[in-house]
Amino acid sequence: MPEDPSNETVQPGKWGMVIDQDLCMGCQACVTACTIENNVAFVGEDDAGYGRWMHWIRIERFWEGTYPTVRTTGFQPMLCQQCGHAPCEPVCPVYASVHSQSEQTNLQIYNRCVGTRYCANNCPYQVRSFNWRDYTRPATFNNMFNPDVTVRKRGVMEKCTFCLQRIRRGEDLAHSENRPVRDGEVVPACAQACPTNAIVFGHIDDPTTEVSRLAEEARNRNYKMLDELGTYPRITYLKGGPSHG
């Protein structure tokens, strides 16, 4: 396995997440919040049904066993894992998919993307969404756009940014007040909307933060998604029981 490249240099902060599947109840509030926060396009029923939904976060659910002994597994919120060693980055021929050194996230540069879709192909988590068309909204909805986030056009790839605009705002504020970013100061839209606090966000390289504490405490039920691929995901999942009793 290759070394986690972000260990090589001194980082101002490595952002990460803990998702407790035992707390997730599959309400999809995170999906809605993320869509509104990040100006994610509404693709409509037909395209969504054909597998072109563009949500940056999705709630996966599965069944186990055969009838009549069917049981559901825990809900699994799935979003960009912001890999330390991301398969999507080296395959882009035009540097549209790059690694951020300061936030330790994977960035997608929309206006650099030419739409080869190699990154989406190479993402083992299948979390990248492509703008298949120019999806329009009713004019009244235009007031709903978040001015901090670019509106993407057809032909470019996009994905979860860990709400980069919120990270930036938090960092700028802390910088102007001449202090480090406080734990819990930066909350991405999904974590903010979660009614059971199943999603916790923070610095994972600082052992005192909530996110590090949760990952450490639940040592017997924490895991990283597809860890065997050597992608160094920044999200720790905590295993949960079945979702329906």
- Site residues, another protein (CB under 8 A): 47, 50-53, 58, 60, 62, 76, 78, 87, 90-95, 112-118, 120-122, 124-126, 129-134, 154-157, 226, 229
> Under a CB-based contact definition with an 8 Å cutoff, are residues 91 and 114 in contact?
no
Instruction: Specify the DSSP element, H or E, that contains 203.
Output: strand 199-203
Q: Are 225 and 17 in contact (CB under 8 A)?
A: no
CB of 115: closest distance to another protein in angstroms?
A: 2
For the CB of residue 48, give the shortest distance to another protein in the complex, in Å: 10
Identify which of residues 149 and 225 has a Cβ nearer to another protein in the complex: 225
Q: Based on CB atoms, which residue is closest to another protein, 16 or 87?
A: 87
Residue nearer to another protein on the CB measure, 5 or 155: 155
Nearer to another protein, 96 or 198 (CB): 96
Q: CB of residue 130 vs another protein: minimum separation in angstroms? A: 7
Beta carbon nearer to another protein, 123 or 164: 123
For residue 97, the minimal CB distance to another protein (Å) is 9
CB of 123 to another protein, least distance (A): 8
